[in-house]
Structure 1
Amino acid sequence: MTRVITFGTFDVFHIGHVNMLVRAAEMGDHLTVGVSSDALNFSKKGRYPVYREEHRMAIVKSLACVDEVFVEESLELKGQYIKDHAADVLVMGDDWAGKFDHWGDLCEVVYLPRTAEVSTTDIIQSIREDLN
């Protein structure tokens, strides 16, 4: 059995998220998803997600392609998460290309292309502009 792991915030869930998770699931038999905690998202992006972590986790877990979901508390713990979930493949979006290559000693590292023309940041910005 090939176990795949991926990570993300999955805020304002959109087709890009669906595409990424479906493609990641197709790379193995079991897909585990680490959903960034609210605090981790704040430390990465300087803002809290629109949806609370438990809601984002429920959305991701509801997808047929996802087998397991957990809270990602820290970027520095990725190696431990890979070990804890016995992952054979780490899948990330190509916006992270090269940034996780050092985990190649624990598992295969694959970067998938992002869905063109869709971005959570852009969606949130567009909504803010429409409100003003």
Structure 2
Amino acid sequence: MSGTFDLFHIGHLNMLKKAKQYCDYLVVGVHKDASHKNKTVFISLEERMEIVRSVRYVDEVIVSLPEDSDVREIIPYNYLFVGSDYKGTERFQRYEEQFSKLDDVEIVYFPYTKSTSSTQLRSAISQDNK
């Protein structure tokens, strides 16, 4: 699993908890920034990694690579966890096609948390700064 984990919230925690239910050892990649989403981050990489590392469901934290599929060459995995908001995107369609050729990798989509999201938090912060 990888993510930016900026403005850490219950949706992040729920995804990590659900992911751990699938595996004995959960490795989480933290993105250096959010440029892939054309957004800036509020919390430094080091602090975001420490927050994720402190979650009891997480066994190891790494700096993510640009492509989740590239991590598999360094740390073999059987599951790639992601929020359902990524299902159908060009990137994950490509991953689905790539992993369909392998017998031991599955992409697991978790439901998007509607009650709290980083987008909502960013919006609230932006409104407060006006």
Residue in structure 2 matching 1:84, options 74, 81, 87 = 74
Percent identity for Structure 1 against Structure 2: 36
Aligned to 1:7: 2
**Structure 2: which 5+ runs fail to align?**
none
CA distance in 1, matches of 2:41, 2:98: 27
TM-score by length of structure 2 reads 0.86
* CA RMSD, Structure 1 to Structure 2 (Å): 1.4
Aligned partner of 1:23: which letter?
K
CA distance in 1, matches of 2:22, 2:73: 18
Aligned to 1:3: none
Aligned partner of 2:48: which letter?
R
Aligned to 1:72: 64
Aligned partner of 1:87: which letter?
Y
Q: Give the strand-richer structure, 1 or 2.
A: 1
Q: Secondary structure at the match of 1:30?
A: coil
- Say how many residue pairs are matched: 122
**Structure 1: which 5+ runs fail to align?**
1-5
CA distance in 2, matches of 1:29, 1:73: 22
Q: Which runs of 4 or more aligned residues in structure 1 lie more than 6 Å from their structure 2 counterparts after TM superposition?
A: none
